[in-house]
Amino acid sequence: MTSTQAAPELSYLEHKVAMYRSQVALRRFEQRAYDLFLENYVKGTSHLSIGQEAIAAGVAAAMRPTDWTFATYRGHAHTLARGVPMTPVFAELMGRSNGLMAGKGGSMHLTSVEHGVMGSYAIIGAHLPIACGAAWSAQYRGTDQVAVCFFGDGSVNIGAFHEALNFAAIWKLPVIFFCENNLWMEYTRTSEVTAVANPAADRASAYGLESIIVDGNDADAVYEVASLAIARARAGEGPSMIEAKTYRHGGHSRADPGKYRPDDELAEWLLKDPIPLYRSRLLEMGVDEDELLVLEADVDAEVDTATNEAKAGAAPGEELLFQDVWADGSGSWRN
């Protein structure tokens, strides 16, 4: 085979199995990250996507390698879903030199430019205008890249959200704004502080955009709406905003037990857990359960290996402290 040959198209079922694998990998990674936090290997903070994996997996499957992801601090899943290996992500969470950014960014700022992960942003709303800029660059340079920008339901009430939506609409930018509506901000229900029922979708019309709502716990549904929006953006038809309904199974961050949420609400959403639902769908479609068992064991092994590799990493050295403040690699501000 020569390198100019395109990768073989995945069959319909292979594609679905791959999306399942991605969801399982995201889940098991996050569960391990939680354990590592409790064991004090992960310092500082971390925000897990347990319960929201169908979104990261479904959207990433609809993207091309040259497309761009802009994520929030809740960005482990989006980073991994674009193909970033687990070891550097675990290592970044642990502040090791083999981390994705050598420990200089931490959990909230995962970035891997070679995988199109153009950053994880920890100031609510800030990355929406930044994603617009990347989309503008693609439009200006005449590439057909698109930018996908994820944010939470609580992020729709900050000014940058509104500035970015209007900006993208008037310049017809190839950007997809993707709201992961998990109903909660940190410890407050978004509906208590938001004027409309669907925080993102109900605002779409204000910017001349279609209102799109999708079941965020169904990877196939997510894949489908994302594919449509991405195709539109690629064809020069401008931005889209998608609101996906989902739920985080755990707390907001760190070891937050999420006790502020009613028990029956959590129970109801656990029944809608995207991963078992997707698994049964695959079995119904005739996928052999043994294949899934092998796949799951394979993911577990990957998580174990990555954990060990990350733990084996050294602490970042002092030489990194002043490195890369500036483009010439230095940290020098005077002569």
Partner 1 sequence: MAQLTFREAIARGIAQEMRRDESVVFLGEDVGAAGGVFKGTVGLFEEFGPLRVRDTPISEQAILGAAMGASMTGLRPIAEIMFADFFAVCWDIVANEIAKSRYMTNGQLTFPLVIRSGNGGGLRFGAQHSQSVENWAMMIPGLKVVVPSNATDVIGLMAASVRDNDPVIFLEAKALYASKMDVPDGEIVDTLGSAKVLREGTDATVVALGAMVPKALAAAEELSNAGIECTVVDVRSLVPLDMTTILREVSATGRLFTVEENPRLCGWGGELSSIVSEEAFYDLDGPIVRITTPHIPLPAADALEDLAIPSVERIVTTIAKSMNS
Ligand X SMILES: Cc1ncc(C[n+]2csc(CCOP(=O)(O)OP(=O)(O)O)c2C)c(N)n1
Q: Residue 220 is which amino acid?
A: D
CB of 108 to partner 1, least distance (A): 9
Is 72 among the residues that bind Mg ion (CB under 5 A)? no
218 is a contact residue toward Mg ion (CB under 5 A) = no
CB-CB contact of 16 with 220 (8 Å): yes
- Name the burial class of residue 264, with classes exposed (0-12), middle (13-18) and buried (19+) by CB atoms within 10 angstroms of its CB: exposed
Helix ranges, 191-273 (H)? 201-204, 219-234, 263-271
Q: Which among 165, 174, 176, 112 is positioned nearest to 144, based on CA atoms?
A: 174
Site for ligand X, residues 84 to 123, rule: CB under 6 A: 122-123
Q: Where are the beta strands (DSSP E) in 114-230?
A: 117-121, 147-152, 175-181, 212-215
Binding segment for Mg ion (CB under 5 A), chosen from 25-33, 87-95, 177-185, 226-234, is 177-185
With contacts defined by CB under 6 A, name the span among 2-10, 97-105, 177-185, 303-311 that binds ligand X: 177-185
- Measured distance CA(295)–CA(279) in Å, rounded: 12
155 contact choice in partner 1, Mg ion, ligand X, none (CB below 5 to 8 Å, kind-dependent): ligand X
What is the radius of gyration, based on Cα positions, of the chain? 20
One character per residue 233-252, x = contact with ligand X (rule: CB under 6 A): -------------------x
Q: Is 153 in the site for Mg ion (CB under 5 A)?
A: yes
From the CB of 114, what's the least distance to partner 1, in Å? Answer: 8
Give me the sign of the Cα torsion angle 264, 265, 267, 268: positive
Among 30, 67, 92, 153, binds ligand X (CB under 6 A): 153
- Residue 162 or 252: which CB sits closer to partner 1? 162
Nearer to partner 1, 57 or 134 (CB): 134
d(CA 178, CA 148): 7
Judged by CB under 6 A, which of 154, 174, 251, 316 binds ligand X? 154
Q: What is the DSSP letter of 273?
A: -
Interface residues with partner 1 (CB under 8 A)? 68, 100-102, 104-105, 109, 111-113, 118-119, 121, 123, 126-138, 140-141, 147, 159-160, 163-164, 166-167, 170-171, 320, 323-329, 332-335
